[in-house]
Structure 1
């Protein structure tokens, strides 16, 4: 790159670009465990993407048996060249053994590896609450929390895609 840091704008933090959003293709992968909660993130992130000009037809939904299976599908989707970003959603719960910590760590590590290996950004709404019990209060609380996390992950996705588009523009201008 022929530019020096001094020639770059001092602040590169664009608002979400409607033009970038309108051409973005996003894959959403959901684990099939606790879909009553997980689909709240899926639905809220899809609504948020659409509110920012991502056409509904450019949001593809996929399901896998559990969170552990998300990284492999994310890798295959990223390698397909059909998607500009991938968002993963899951609820990994403590079932009374320590396995949930290993699963969540493996999933997050796998998702990071996918994006670094493929240059396709991968976002996570894979949440591992310390204490989750399948009763009304927790389901209600975590359902609302997943709605919020869905909005946040969609906003992060659009901001990152806008930023990456800016970086590509800077690279072409060099």
Structure 2
């Protein structure tokens, strides 16, 4: 894609891709992002859900190539479930998101988080619900500021 970055970020929509796993927690990030971003930007947000974090990068690439979006925000929760799998999933997803960003020139924001020793108990659920709410606000600010800086 040879479209100038300033032309990409001028588009009217932002895509928000969310992994379906641990939806109850990841929804907090999405809701927080939507609320905060609507204050910071007039861009419309399209929401897309994929099965898991591993599916985010390919969907992100498809959205970038669609030429409809100024940016893509990716959100997910990759947990350490006791099997040595989360490390390679998380690093693969983050590396692929960076590759999509650099290959397409479209800003890609990662809110794909990998907490250490997450368990589905009440204490962890409560902590990460609050943490994901904070991260939604942070990624909204990062997205809005980056779009402003890249607009030329």
Q: Which runs of 5+ in 1 are unaligned?
A: 1-20, 167-174
Query: The residue matched to 1:50 in structure 2 has which SS?
Result: helix
Q: Which residue in the other structure is 2:111 paired with?
A: 125
1:95 equivalent in alignment to 2:81: yes
Question: 1:27 aligns to what SS in structure 2?
Answer: strand
Per the alignment, residue 152 of structure 1 pairs with 138
Which has the larger Rg?
Answer: 1
Q: Which residue of 1 aligns with 2:24?
A: 36
4+ runs deviating over 6 angstroms:
none
> Is residue 165 from structure 1 mapped to residue 128 from structure 2 by the alignment?
no
Deviation at 1:165, TM superposition (A): 0.7
TM-score, structure 2 as length reference? 0.91
Asked if 1:45 corresponds to 2:36, the answer is no
Kept in 2, the 8 Å contact 1:22–1:53? The answer is: no
Cα distance in 2 for residues equivalent to 1:142 and 1:119: 32
Aligned-pair Cα RMSD in Å:
1.4
Secondary structure class of the residue paired with 1:115: helix
Structure number with the higher strand fraction is 2
Count, aligned residues: 144
SS at match of 1:63: strand
For residues 161 and 89 of structure 1, the distance between their equivalents in structure 2, rounded to whole angstroms, comes to 18
Secondary structure of the residue aligned to 1:84 is strand
Greater relative contact order (Cα < 8 A, sep 6+): 2
